[in-house]
Copies of this chain bind each other. A is one copy, B any other.
């Protein structure tokens, strides 16, 4: 709005005042930008596309602007900042206001930070999880057993989910998989699957796909499951943090809201993974199991090796190549990715009670190697609207060994950062293609990895980082 318009003057609105904008039954909360130019007439208001859409306005409509009523739930956020324990109703009020869009980024960032770093106890995490489940839609599949799987990220290229869905659905179980996009990583499962199929489906469309094929790979955002999570994840991404309490609440609220009953959770452990020590992993495992039980889920937590990236690709398209290679049983398919998939799919088959203890992995292997999993994968993709093969990015630089030696360390965080700087996940085909793994012997000038980018600018940006950090991959 214009600084000199009568509403700003009479109401004392100034830059960044939080205001309510309404039209008939629609209403949004917005941060006001004030201008002093004639782009707008006095008494005109400029809206972002998102705001205009939410308010269902068109040119020349009349809008009502008012002071924002005090956001009462912020008193709970302040209490949390001062280390107080919050109960269910406090979390419920906070999450409700967040879903309503009443919180500014400053408020959201404070809430996330106040809850990070072990500042929520197990009751609070359960309460936050329940509040997040209650904040959105909840799906019901009319099945006694609905399985799901989730990986506590931090491991570049660890794209087991689509493979597990294909195996488990091929077995005949129901696995309506909703995934998030990348939070702090170069690719989330939804980002990777979007390369090969449509992942933005409505609840109704998801239902149709799952009824037909037993499984799906979709982005959880549009399904309105735990909508608060999507808001919070954007801020966590900007902060590049992912705290234990929010993480558990995020994962389990999505699972419960999606109607899952039996869930396997994979925690990779490694010095540069998200979870850095076995001690932290055990604590997280206990917390997940306790909160899972509190919200009525059957949970099996599996702790796995997280010392290096999984497979070869890091970035949506490059990971898609790995997935297809395993599904097609290609000779050079990444063995580490396949082994991990068989372990986790096996655990999930056993947790469901349909496959005998100890027989899960072998059952999974048979489904994969017979080609039944690939068949199911393609069928699900087509049910979601398309199957598209991934492509390589147009720009690349090969990073070679400066001397001969043995690969001693691959820093998950730094290689993930490098992939992000190259443009992943926004640029689908950007990222890293690894040619070596821990323990590999390399000669001088041997290819270590390739950086792919969709623009020269992004490639340049990634290489600048690569030049300034000599510990992305360490040789001895």
A contact set with B: CB distance below 8 Å? 10-12, 14, 33, 36, 39, 48-49, 67, 70, 74, 77-78, 81-83, 104-110, 112-114, 116-118, 235, 238-241, 243, 417, 423, 426-427, 454-458, 461, 465
Contact = CB atoms under 8 A, between A and B. Distances in A.
Contacts of A49: 36
Contacts of A454: 12
Contacts of A458: 11-12, 67
A117 B10 contact: no
Given A49-B36, A116-B81, A117-B82, A457 B110 contact: no
Nearest to A83: B117
A7 B239 CA distance: 25
A156 to B, nearest CB: 17
Nearest to A235: B106
A465 B72 CA distance: 12
Given A39-B39, A109-B113, A110-B239, A14 B83 contact: no
Nearest 9 CB-CB pairings of A with B:
A109-B109, A113-B113, A106-B109, A82-B117, A110-B113, A106-B238, A83-B117, A11-B457, A81-B116
B116 A82 contact: yes
A109 B113 CA distance: 8
Contacts of A113: 81, 109-110, 113-114
A241 B363 CA distance: 57
A109 B117 contact: no
Nearest to A460: B67
A19 to B, nearest CB: 12
Nearest to A105: B106
A12 B423 contact: yes
A48 B14 CA distance: 14
A116 B109 CA distance: 13
The residue in A14, A78, A110, A455 that gathers the most chain B C-beta atoms within 10 A of its C-beta is A110
